Structure 1
């Protein structure tokens, strides 16, 4: 499963103007509200927030990856947003974030969930990819970037 297979223009928002972690998570959830894989939006919200309470999903290198394994989705759901200005996300490296991925997968897809988290982390963790994501001017540019980057990336 590739990022480019899960992400579409509809679930990408560029240069969001948000100032708090809770605003960002709420916005990310609203972006996927009408995703065909979302069965129960309120349950998805609860599960993402529950996971966030356990430990911040600010994974470092200016990236936040709120996520959940949940029966609120029937298929993997992925959204991406860039922020106009950095915000505090209580990241593990204590640095603010500017790049947000939201990932939700069905509970029975644990292996795929972990592989997708790893794939996003490894790819977006590269400084050149992050820089390019922050400079894109269209949602199609984001999709093109992942398509290009995943050409040589092993399929999961």
Structure 2
């Protein structure tokens, strides 16, 4: 799956101002609203929080991958945000979060595109070198390249 079909540079914010989990999800949702991927912020956020109630979406190595499957999603997309400070988030390894990858999934895509997308991103995040690059990279285009072709991104 080509990540650039669901992620563009306008949906990547490498200097988020959010200091909490709630603020981070709202800030990234705003990016998706501006890009037209999400059509109703309140409805989408409600669906993200419903998913979060089922279990934390904190991954490991300072990464969180919250997601919402929602009627408020016009087309499946990702938004990525990074902070210079850590956000308290329940993660698998107990680390605080510095990079949030928000999945906005159309209900029609929940069993197909969503699974392929989650698999691709999760496989990339399993590589500590990839995670290190995501936490340090300063160019949004490079973030897309790292997730699109992790093998080429490893030095």
TM-score category by the smaller chain?
A: 0.7 to 0.9
Task: Please give the secondary structure, in 2, of the residue aligned with 1:58.
Answer: coil
CA distances 1:21-44 after superposition (whole Å, capped 9, x unpaired) = 111111111121122232322211
Q: Determine whether 1:130 maps to 2:131.
A: yes
CA distance in 2, matches of 1:10, 1:27: 13
Change (3 A) 1:149 1:92: closer
Partner residue, 1:37: 37
Equivalences for 1:3-152 in 2 at 5 Å? 3-109=3-109, 110-149=111-150
Change (3 A) 1:82 1:125: farther
In the alignment of these two chains, the number of paired residues is 151
CA distances 1:97-149 after superposition (whole Å, capped 9, x unpaired) = 11110101111212221221121111123111111112212212223333442
Gap regions ≥5 residues in structure 2 = none
Q: Is the 8 A contact 2:29 2:38 kept in 1?
A: no
Gap regions ≥5 residues in structure 1 = 152-156
Task: Please give the secondary structure, in 2, of the residue aligned with 1:27.
Answer: helix
